Structure 1
Amino acid sequence: MTDELLAISPIDGRYSDIVDELRRYFSEYALMMYRLRIELEYLKLLTNVLRPIQEDKISIITDKIFKEFSIDEARRIKQIEKETRHDVEALVRYVKERLSEYGLSDQANLVHLGLTSEDVSNLAYSLILKDFNAEVLLPLIKEFVTELAKVAMNEKNTIMLGRTHGLPALPTTLGKELIVHVYRIMKQYEFLETYLFPGKISGAVGTYAALMEVFGKDTINILEKFIRKLGLEPWIATKQVLPHDVISRYLHSLSLLAGCLIDLCRDLWLLTMMGYVLIKRVGVGSSTMPQKVNPIEIENAEGNLEYSSNLLNFLSNRLLVSRLQRDLSDSTLKRNYGVAMAHLIIGIKNLRSFLMRIEFNRELMKRDLEEHPEILSEAIQIRMRLLGKNLVNELRRLEPLSPDKYLEDVKGIIESTGINPDEIIPKTYHEYIGAASLIVESIYRLCMNKFSRNEKAIS
């Protein structure tokens, strides 16, 4: 029996292969590594300020310690933590051990000087989210939305029956309906790609007292520069904990992204139910019904995206509150960032997988349109009103018992006004799709110009 079969969470079990890349951001080992980076970078800062003559030597050694950090080294920290029952203190002792091994016992005295654990942890978590966002999430969104845009462009003239409230409404195109989702996802991408993650170093209650003992009157300026050098935006006024406002906004934006994708899942599911989407057979659809080919990827995607969205919303709202200067409830919650992100990634990847194994039943779409000529009634009543004839009530009274009977009745109503029906009734459904194709072309061009690499921009 493998470890995956013993996993409690499906993230580390059934879906582990899908999200394996997230281990370098959200595992216990990853958190240790990011915290270690902060401690070592801060030690360089201290050396630069307090003992500049030793700066080059410390820099070489700290870089070496970071590069040598492995799972075995992380196990050493866990071993120390059994004694300290404090994860950051265990890391601090580990760093001091490593410095002593290199003959730097005196410099080890500077490790964590003036800091509280939260100074290290908030920076580590912000860097984790920043790197995950840039290295995993944004590239995945880019790949998916580009593929979806290409499908939409290919189907820009594929006429289909548009439905409101589930009932026949007006002609539209498959491409236009898909490009709506492309545009929504692009908007979320644009928000995420420029997001600035926050960071703070302000001490145990946010007064900088211990830090001012170390750095003097220029403390805040020195620490702001340090935080910016890490690629984070300094947050000056804090409790012991960094206010979660900016991270909460990020998590809310991911929940919005998940919501956009859930909407796409449900539209594709309904199009599959109506027979407009055809799924290529892979594996077994049912243990008892041989004919079944099910939309399992989008159903799986929908479930994972809903779970992710709910967890993201919970975390973003709950973490806005910390009692007085701090309480520890946030610590256990932040360890679940990775759970929310993993389910989001699973959802996107399954949705992408579904998109790659479907085709469209254009003949069925065409037949459905021909069964519902009443969807042209809007065009008819507008054209008649422009000629000074209001036939809205007459058209409302018609019942589309059959396509031929409906068109015959419409022609009779128009003829009764002395107007030729052939000049009023659209000759094809394509005649009444408005700017659908232009919308697809416009958004597709935006998408390709933004995301295409090694290709000339589309003008």
Structure 2
Amino acid sequence: MPETAAAVTRTPSGRLALAASPEKIALGPLDGRYQSAIAPLVDYLSEAALNRDRVAVEVEWLIHLTSNSVLPGAGPLTAEQQDKLRSIVTEFDAAAVAELAEIEAVTVHDVKAVEYYISRRLPAIGIENLTAMVHFGCTSEDINNLSYALGIKGAVEDVWLPAARALVQQIEAMAEENRAVPMLSRTHGQPATPTTLGKELAVIAHRLGRQLDRIAKTEYLGKINGATGTYAAHVASVPGADWQAVSKSFVEGLGLTWNPLTTQIESHDWQAELYSDIARFNRILHNVCTDIWSYISIGYFRQIPVAGATGSSTMPHKVNPIRFENAEANLEISNGLLDTLAATLVTSRWQRDLTDSSSQRNIGVAFGHSLLAISNVAKGLKALDVAGDVLAGDLDTNWEVLGEAIQMVMRAEAIAGVAGMENPYERLKDLTRGQRVDAARMQEFVSGLGLSADAEARLLALTPGGYTGIADELVDHLK
């Protein structure tokens, strides 16, 4: 069908516009291609979730003030009235989001819009006389800092940590399964003292697990103390109240830690600490990705093909390690944001500036890229098969790695008084450095050393695959 002027919308440069409503098309990949992987975060770190949490904080503040009869003439609400107030939060839906947006279009202030949104609903509850108590004594940051803390806490505890812990448990299970599978180490990329695949996976799990333990202990701080943290408006309006006690009990009642000393903003130090810990987890996971990618490239792991999937558009034989490559990229993006947030949120000009307001709107993006990476690593690991034959073959072609064991036995023999054990390191260096030594040559060398019968028998029985020390036992530390 030919194009008509009425049916076609074009950009200023002449391109065909994708849609009449561009806001319905995702600009970023987290809200488009990868939306299903990060969907659980939407309930905690989206703009809509932030507004719902703002409503929740405002509602709870009103209930807190009335329940404690902080203001003369405003005593406790009935249980029914409290339930109806809280239903403003539980019934917060798409229509509520749209209504808030309409109010904000007039107020040009997001928190003020929340105040008006709640006030509109008080007559139906029969407490329109308490309209003046909505947002009482509060600056916007009193509401914002608590809302962000609740959202971030929920996102970490309900979404990110469970996903990260599940990944670590997956790696732990792989470590246990492969605890005794010998593998050539590659320090500096060169053949080195053998280990086991399980022990190396256990190292990864242990490192990641330590970071998760730190993250699980995060302290989520909050404050509600007025325009510059002095309770000035509170004391001026109700001088007889113990406002610090009111503030502390409210913040702690939300499940947060009360911060007694702030400017207009809660200082965000706890956020910086959390983001640094998550970034460290991300960096360790990035290292995992590059190591697994490298093991795949030398054949230690085989990738299980997915039916119908295409590895390369032109090379049909390929199964690319795309899960790990995708994870690398997303971890780097996540850390770029987390590092920026951690660096910028701890600074604020004098008592307040708004740089944190814009910065914090990207918290969900930082978490989203990390969560997406965790998902990809989990899927990538699930599609791996250990190539035991390749591992064994690699060990069998690198008998020179037993040079360490032989020279150490020679040292022990020398200490025990066995003659002829001089210069053990140098003798093994001459034999093995930069050279391939097969089993026959290594055993010939051992037989000619003049070792004690016991030591010689131990070394003659030793193979690269058997030279793994107590690597398999070390996996037990994961328990």
TM-score of the aligned structures, taking structure 1 as reference length: 0.92
Preserved contact between residue 114 and residue 214 of structure 1 (Cα < 8 Å)? no
Return the alpha-carbon distance in structure 1 between the equivalents of residues 155 and 313 of structure 2. Answer: 39
Return the alpha-carbon distance in structure 2 between the equivalents of residues 215 and 131 of structure 1. Answer: 35
Evaluate the alpha carbon distance shift between residue 423 and residue 142 of structure 1 in structure 2; reply closer, same or farther with a 3 A threshold: closer
Return the alpha-carbon distance in structure 2 between the equivalents of residues 215 and 11 of structure 1. Answer: 49
Aligned to 1:46: 65
Return the alpha-carbon distance in structure 1 between the equivalents of residues 369 and 360 of structure 2. Answer: 15
Among candidates 351, 370, 393, match of residue 344 of structure 1? 370
Among candidates 337, 344, 359, match of residue 333 of structure 1? 359
Among candidates 253, 259, 269, match of residue 229 of structure 1? 253
What runs of 5+ residues in structure 1 fail to find an aligned partner? 447-459
State the 1:53 CA deviation.
4.5
Counterpart of 2:132, as a letter, is N
Counterpart of 1:268, as a letter, is I
Counterpart of 2:160, as a letter, is L
State the 1:98 CA deviation.
1.1
Return the alpha-carbon distance in structure 1 between the equivalents of residues 65 and 458 of structure 2. Answer: 83
Number of aligned residue pairs: 443
State the 1:59 CA deviation.
1.0
Among candidates 206, 212, 215, match of residue 229 of structure 2? 206
Counterpart of 2:46, as a letter, is S
State the 1:194 CA deviation.
2.7
Return the alpha-carbon distance in structure 2 between the equivalents of residues 207 and 419 of structure 1. Answer: 81
Q: Secondary structure at the match of 2:313?
A: coil
Return the alpha-carbon distance in structure 1 between the equivalents of residues 447 and 284 of structure 2. Answer: 43
Aligned to 1:108: 131
Preserved contact between residue 36 and residue 66 of structure 1 (Cα < 8 Å)? yes
Among candidates 84, 91, 101, match of residue 78 of structure 1? 101
After superposition, the C-alpha distances for 1:367-416 in whole angstroms (9 at most, x for unaligned) are: 11111001111111110000112311111122464433x75267337625
1:260 aligns with 2:284: yes
State the 1:268 CA deviation.
0.5
Counterpart of 1:77, as a letter, is L
Q: Secondary structure at the match of 2:77?
A: helix
Return the alpha-carbon distance in structure 2 between the equivalents of residues 18 and 154 of structure 1. Answer: 28
1:94 aligns with 2:117: yes
Q: Secondary structure at the match of 1:275?
A: coil
Q: Secondary structure at the match of 1:434?
A: coil
Q: Secondary structure at the match of 2:311?
A: coil
Aligned ranges 1:298-317 → 2 under 5 Å: 298-317=324-343
Return the alpha-carbon distance in structure 2 between the equivalents of residues 433 and 72 of structure 1. Answer: 63
After superposition, the C-alpha distances for 1:9-52 in whole angstroms (9 at most, x for unaligned) are: 10001101111111111111101100000000000012122322
Aligned to 2:40: 21
Return the alpha-carbon distance in structure 1 between the equivalents of residues 253 and 38 of structure 2. Answer: 30
Aligned ranges 1:188-203 → 2 under 5 Å: 188-203=211-226
Counterpart of 2:221, as a letter, is P
Aligned to 1:239: 263
Preserved contact between residue 376 and residue 425 of structure 1 (Cα < 8 Å)? no
TM-score of the aligned structures, taking structure 2 as reference length: 0.88
Counterpart of 2:392, as a letter, is K
Among candidates 383, 387, 391, match of residue 424 of structure 2? 391
Evaluate the alpha carbon distance shift between residue 94 and residue 354 of structure 1 in structure 2; reply closer, same or farther with a 3 A threshold: same
Among candidates 403, 409, 412, match of residue 437 of structure 2? 403
Q: Secondary structure at the match of 2:31?
A: coil
Evaluate the alpha carbon distance shift between residue 381 and residue 116 of structure 1 in structure 2; reply closer, same or farther with a 3 A threshold: same
Return the alpha-carbon distance in structure 1 between the equivalents of residues 451 and 469 of structure 2. Answer: 27
Q: Secondary structure at the match of 1:377?
A: helix
Preserved contact between residue 63 and residue 82 of structure 2 (Cα < 8 Å)? yes
The farther-off stretch of 428-437 and 22-31 is 428-437
State the 1:61 CA deviation.
2.3
Q: Secondary structure at the match of 1:281?
A: coil
Root mean square deviation of aligned Cα: 1.9
Aligned to 2:459: 424
Counterpart of 2:462, as a letter, is K
Preserved contact between residue 122 and residue 242 of structure 1 (Cα < 8 Å)? yes
Return the alpha-carbon distance in structure 2 between the equivalents of residues 386 and 41 of structure 1. Answer: 72
Preserved contact between residue 377 and residue 395 of structure 1 (Cα < 8 Å)? yes
State the 1:190 CA deviation.
1.4
Q: Secondary structure at the match of 1:161?
A: strand
Return the alpha-carbon distance in structure 2 between the equivalents of residues 265 and 327 of structure 1. Answer: 39
Counterpart of 2:102, as a letter, is Q
State the 1:70 CA deviation.
1.2
Q: Secondary structure at the match of 1:379?
A: helix
Counterpart of 2:52, as a letter, is M
Return the alpha-carbon distance in structure 2 between the equivalents of residues 409 and 113 of structure 1. Answer: 83
After superposition, the C-alpha distances for 1:306-344 in whole angstroms (9 at most, x for unaligned) are: 111121111011111010110111101101000000000
After superposition, the C-alpha distances for 1:235-286 in whole angstroms (9 at most, x for unaligned) are: 0110101011111101111001101111111111010001011111120000
State the 1:110 CA deviation.
0.7
Return the alpha-carbon distance in structure 2 between the equivalents of residues 94 and 104 of structure 1. Answer: 15
Aligned to 1:457: none
Evaluate the alpha carbon distance shift between residue 332 and residue 266 of structure 1 in structure 2; reply closer, same or farther with a 3 A threshold: same
Return the alpha-carbon distance in structure 1 between the equivalents of residues 207 and 387 of structure 2. Answer: 25
Counterpart of 1:412, as a letter, is F
1:440 aligns with 2:475: yes
Return the alpha-carbon distance in structure 2 between the equivalents of residues 352 and 84 of structure 1. Answer: 46
Aligned to 1:454: none
Preserved contact between residue 379 and residue 426 of structure 1 (Cα < 8 Å)? no
Aligned ranges 1:135-146 → 2 under 5 Å: 135-146=158-169
Aligned to 2:384: 358
Aligned to 2:85: 62
The farther-off stretch of 137-146 and 85-94 is 137-146
Q: Secondary structure at the match of 1:170?
A: strand
Preserved contact between residue 273 and residue 342 of structure 2 (Cα < 8 Å)? yes
State the 1:431 CA deviation.
3.5
Return the alpha-carbon distance in structure 1 between the equivalents of residues 398 and 286 of structure 2. Answer: 29
1:30 aligns with 2:85: no
State the 1:58 CA deviation.
3.6
What runs of 5+ residues in structure 2 fail to find an aligned partner? 1-17, 415-420
Aligned to 1:218: 242
Counterpart of 1:441, as a letter, is D
